[in-house]
Structure 1
Amino acid sequence: MAGPRRERLVAFIWGFFALFATGSSTAQVPLIIWSSDGLPPLASPAAGHIISNDQLTSYLTSAFSSGSRTVLLFLQDKLSKEDFTVFGGVFGNKQDSAFQNLEAALQSSYSSATLPALEWSGSSSILTLLQDKLGVSPLLVDADTLSHLSINTSVSNLLLINLPYCTGLHKSCKEVLHGNDEIIGEVLNFMKTKNVPYTAIYTGLQPSRVVSEISMPSQPVGRSLLQSVETGVKPPIMFNVSGSPCIMLWAQNISVKVSNTGQWINLATQTPSTTGSRCDNTNAVLVLNYNSQYTLSFMMSRRFYPVSARNWFTLDSVQLQYQGQSLSFIGSRFLTAPAEYSFHCQSVTSYQEPLLVPNSTNQVTSQWQLNLVDFQIQGFGLNNKTSFSYASDCSAFFTPGIWMGLVTTLVLLLILVYGIHMITQLTTMDRFDDPKGPTISVPQTE
């Protein structure tokens, strides 16, 4: 990778930490995980969102679900986001960074994930969690015992590397962090020399900086533009093939109503399974199986259109199944986007200006309704990305409000032009009557 590109990547990593540095006020530690084999995708958390221990447990469960693993746990006495923003060479100056080996490892790893704000609940929580997931006890490793270490890759291994943090006895925190970074580089080079696949985690026993929470008055003071703010955003639903994202879907609300129940059910509050989903270069099917006996299937296809000289994907249909009955909704021509984009629409419904039309005239199934709020989907062109591509929105550019503004502006412009034209057509008399001089006589002819 070229030097300027590497510097931009490093600046982005530490800038990412800087973005979250002022976003929360509870005790938290950052966690960085990278692997030489591969990791499941992790959606980028919203600004200020703190990853809970349950979320970390769920992610590590999916990461260590199959096969034996060799895990390297670099556990520093103290660590906070501010350590990266202060000593990490935020402006891309790699000579000024105290984490050069860590940056190189993230850059050369097969996959990596960054948790800028992980909920801190105790000094041994991450170590205990890894022991439970791997089923092995940790082996303490240092620079002296590293060269004599023998690793059996047929079983899981948990190698613990303790790293110090700066105290009053040290010259500076930057020198201590730089020394820890050298230890990380030595361990990773040893694993590379022995050709041992590994998963590495770098975090802290406790935060090095804790910002005290500011107490807020119980009564609101002054005006408030936002009455309520959501502290977190749920991740999108992803279907992976060989560990890489293939289909992504997100919706604020997925409401269905069938004739059997006669009431709306919001499926977005449930976690579905994607069993039965499939995707390739031309067709993609996302199947969402819910515990409440509902199943939603999104059928998408990709085609090349010579007129536009590019590939487009369309949401051909959505199938709703409930207790052995099913109804297919045909997608309108507006449910389309370039193949490398995602599709977004604020409202996709089967009623009231429907974009989904029921493919049945049966009286019972015609009472089934589907409503998707703030809906976004992408079935092609993800290319191992864990976030949506640029969204093509279903709403037209010239909305009724824009048309009203254009027409009003045109009318005012015509009035202005007419007024200027009238002013330019005004003329004056050739001669004027002077009261001090002789009067002007106008001869009359009969």
Structure 2
Amino acid sequence: MSVCKSILVFLSVVLTISLVQCTEFVPVFMWSTSKTNEKVPALHKISQDSFKDDVLEHLKENPFVIVFAEQTLSPEDFAQHDQSGATVFPYLEKHKRNSKVSYLPYVQNPIKALKHLGEEVAEVSISDLKENFDFPATNILIVNLNDAKDDEHRLEMLKRHDSTIISIYNKIAKKYDNVLALYTAHHTSWVAPEDVISSRKIRSLLATTENGTYYKSNYSILYYTDVSYNLNNGASNTEVSLDFTDALQNTDIVLTGTSSVLQVEMEFSTNTSDGYWVLKNVTVTYNNTDYNLNSSLSDIYAPTTFSYHCGDQSFSTENNNFKLYFGSFQVQLFFDGTSANETKFSDAYDCVGFTSVPIWSGIFVSAILLLIMTLGITMMMDIRTMDRFDDAKGKTITINAE
């Protein structure tokens, strides 16, 4: 009997793990030539069946449904901005102002739900659609945006897909009177915090999927996805490829990056008496002119056993006439020369502080509520009961009022 119970427990655990692994919540950006559903779901996460019922309501008007499916997408991607501060989805944001748009940040397996609607579904690749721009005779068309380039940054790919989506949608809107368009993905591109309870995310030098550049020596580990510079506040940034070397000079570690047009020197202080390493200064040599740069976000420092990371690290001069940008910049120093034995970055100090504006807002509101509750409890404890009462058989209490 105990063996049967053990088998049942094992099978239930395996089934639970498989169900969790096959469930992914991705965003859905939905709009139409006519009018979308104005009801906003009250739930933070929408199940596959609920999303299926919502789409079936739209299908009552017999629209032509086109689905633009990224390989990976998350709500965090809609909050991304390029180096100039512009949004990654300019056309979708503009279309959002002109049409009624439904945005669902967390939908369970939307592609699978669309395939189980009982309608005729066709899938095409975006490259095949560009070569032969003929729409299949189907009710639901899924366009897989699987044309990522090896030398292309993810933000650039999403911006290019944004332009492609609107271009294709406008052509379809001219052909069909009623069109329902969806922008979603097969998988999520970010790992939710609840999915990584027992493990912390540490970037590995040997297990990264990003198209970046690594440099490792006895004194440092450096990683960055791209680097560009802007001279005299120009309208565009010029991308360069840097080859880094490092050296121990006196008491400092100097990282030197060279290219055909400029040279970058980062000088790190090895005076770790307070337990921190610090980036002292950044010098750029361009056209035989030296520029002293400072970090535009915050000072770059970390404990001796930690790395420093920033998603969009920038350096600039005081008058902003020269700017240097690094994408997904991460660096760690090793003062005892043990970097050659390391294959991963240690835990990272991030350029975005932990106490963000929402956190401070929550602390402020909680402090006010705590003050009100403390004041109320104190006043309730100060209430005193009467110790003298009227005797019905005796003389009444008389209070003389003058």
Per the TM superposition, whether the score is higher than 0.5 is no
What TM-score do you get using the length of structure 1 for normalisation?
Answer: 0.35
Larger CA Rg, structure 1 vs 2 = 1
When normalised by structure 2's length, the TM-score is 0.39
